[in-house]
Structure 1
């Protein structure tokens, strides 16, 4: 179960929906390719969010901003 949901919905709609249904969100990111990437804290919240947004889901690959890579650790910092 993935906690990530990519949707064609404005940020304010996502915030309102998550507040209304008490979904716990880890991160929200505007996608370069259009739409929004939402990462939930709980996979069950993500599944419920997918059901609510079923007509607005983005299927397949999306293009994220290069700035999201700046938050990633370099391979040398990963614990083994």
Structure 2
């Protein structure tokens, strides 16, 4: 399973929820259409976040910014 997911939540909310869930973030970036692209450090962490944020997952293809650097 992928460690990456796209969420219909602002970055600050995603960071807070990851901290609350004890999940370490590998990469995080905003999406052009709104929302956040999240990559967790482990597959287990990603599964945890998918469970916690299942109502906020974006399905399908999502456009991302080219060459985004935080």
In the other structure, the counterpart of 2:65 is 65
- The alpha carbon displacement at 1:49 in A equals 0.2
CA distance in 2, matches of 1:17, 1:30: 16
- Report which of the two structures shows the higher radius of gyration computed on alpha carbons: 1
- The one-character-per-residue Cα deviations of 1:1-31 (angstroms, maximum 9, x if unpaired) are 1000110001111111111111011000101
TM-score, structure 1 normalization: 0.80
**For structure 2, which runs of at least 5 residues remain unmatched after alignment?**
none
Q: Does structure 1 retain, via aligned residues, the 8 Å contact 2:9–2:56?
A: yes
Bigger relative contact order, structure 1 or 2 (CA pairs below 8 A, ≥6 apart): 2
Superposed CA RMSD: 1.3
In the other structure, the counterpart of 2:22 is 22
How many residues are treated as equivalent by the alignment? 69
